[in-house]
Amino acid sequence: MRQILLPALTLAAAFPTTAEAQENSPEKMEQGESPAAGGVPEKPEASEDADADTTVDRLTLTLGATLVTSYISRGLVFAAEASVQPSARLSVAAPELDTGPVSDVSFHVGTWNNIKIEPTPEGVDPDDFNRFYEDDVYAGIAFQLGEDWSVSATYYRYGSISGAFASYNDFELIVTYDDTKLWGNNPPLKNFKLSPSLRSVQEGSRPNRRDALYLQPSITPSFDVDLGATSVHVAVPLMLGLSDHYYDGREGGTYTFGYFRTGVQFSGKPAPDTLPGLTLSAGADLWIPNTKVASGIDGHHFVGSIGISWTH
């Protein structure tokens, strides 16, 4: 549950870099989404001092925060107010588990939060915990299957310090295909790829209703744009939200189709030489819901985001 973005397109020109976030390609965490949208973590880079056998640090820590104009996830509005979404993720590489077609095995744990920053409604104590809408923890495994497939399986525990909703679980599987080689040596744009992906999420112990299965097929055309000696990664997510009974109708019943989402996202490293772990991102999303679904969105809705992350 989660997704967001804000029209800070000028930031894209202000910083030079390449993209996870969650960029918003399937390999990274999607804007405004909880880690559930995250997919396979980035592989740690080899140390320049490594020998011929190339060793890498097993631990990768990523800290980040995203400012969003509203919090939408899976096509439903969870917080209409502007929010900040801090997160932390620790990934541990397990090369000893690489075998046969399986490689780049890693385990990950983390936390993701949504904190409202706009004024609270009249009559609500702003000093209370009501701003802390969502507080999640998760753990899972990610690996490469063959040369072109990435797989991530993650368990999530969704909670709310403010009591905005009762806690429940999600079990997520993301499979992504790397289509880079299909474009040969002369892709239409630099580092162009479509990154077709399928995300499935099975709810567990959801209070007061049947646990739903959510499916999110997507492609994310992406490419790099050079700005002097640096570059900006550009991604255009195209995705559908589908479910057996996650989408309640405005007049009763449920619907399979929940929404279509697109937009544009920029990410890059403003100081790749001095601060290689720093990534900035910005973007704008357009949500087009099934108007028969009680999504909290009327017609369509734009969401903006701007974020920062540090990986070590």
How remote is the C-alpha of 84 from its chain's centroid?
Answer: 15
Q: Report helix, strand and coil shares of the chain as percent, to nearest 5.
A: 5, 50, 45
- Residue 18 CB partners (closer than 8 Å, separation 6+): 224, 231, 232, 233, 267, 268, 269
Question: Are 114 and 2 within 8 A, CB to CB?
Answer: yes
Amino acid found at 179: D
Residue with more model confidence, 149 or 56: 149
What pLDDT sits at residue 120?
Answer: 57
Residue closest to 195 by CA, chosen among 25, 23, 24: 25
pLDDT at 256: 98
Q: DSSP labels for 145-207?
A: ETTTEEEEEEEEEEE-TT-SS--EEEEEEEEEE--GGGGTTS-SSTT-B---EEEEEEEES-T
What pLDDT is recorded for position 163?
A: 87
The two three-digit tokens of residue 270, written as one number: 């403003």
> For the whole model, what pTM was predicted?
0.83
The answer to whether 17 touches 78, Cβ cutoff 8 Å, is no
Interval 224-241 mean pLDDT: 93
Beta strands in 40-94 (DSSP E): 59-68, 71-73, 76-79, 83-93
pLDDT one-digit tens code per residue, 93-147: 999 999 999 999 999 999 999 999 876 555 555 556 788 999 999 999 999 999 9
Q: How confident is the model at residue 65 (pLDDT cuts 50, 70, 90)?
A: very high
Residue 16: per-residue pLDDT = 33
In three-state secondary structure terms, 158 is strand
Q: Are 234 and 225 in contact (CB under 8 A)?
A: yes
When pLDDT is averaged across residues 283-307 and rounded to a whole number, the result is: 96
Residue whose tokens read 């580092």: 191
Which DSSP helix (H) or strand (E) runs through 280?
strand 278-289
Residue 190 and residue 226 in contact, taking contact as beta carbons nearer than 8 Å: yes
Q: Which two tokens stand for residue 73?
A: 């996830």
Residue 142, CA atoms < 13 Å, CB-side half-sphere? 25
Q: What is the mean pLDDT of the chain?
A: 84
Q: Give the position of tokens 């004024």.
A: 119
In this structure, are residues 294 and 248 in contact, taking their beta carbons and an 8 Å threshold? Answer: yes
| Token pair in block for residue 310 | 């540090």
The mean pLDDT value for 5-30 works out to 33
What is the C-alpha separation between 275 and 90, in angstroms, rounded?
Answer: 19
- Between 25 and 162, the higher pLDDT residue: 162
Sort 263 into a burial class: Cβ within 10 Å, 0-12 / 13-18 / 19+. buried
- Triad 218, 84, 121: Cα angle to 5°: 115
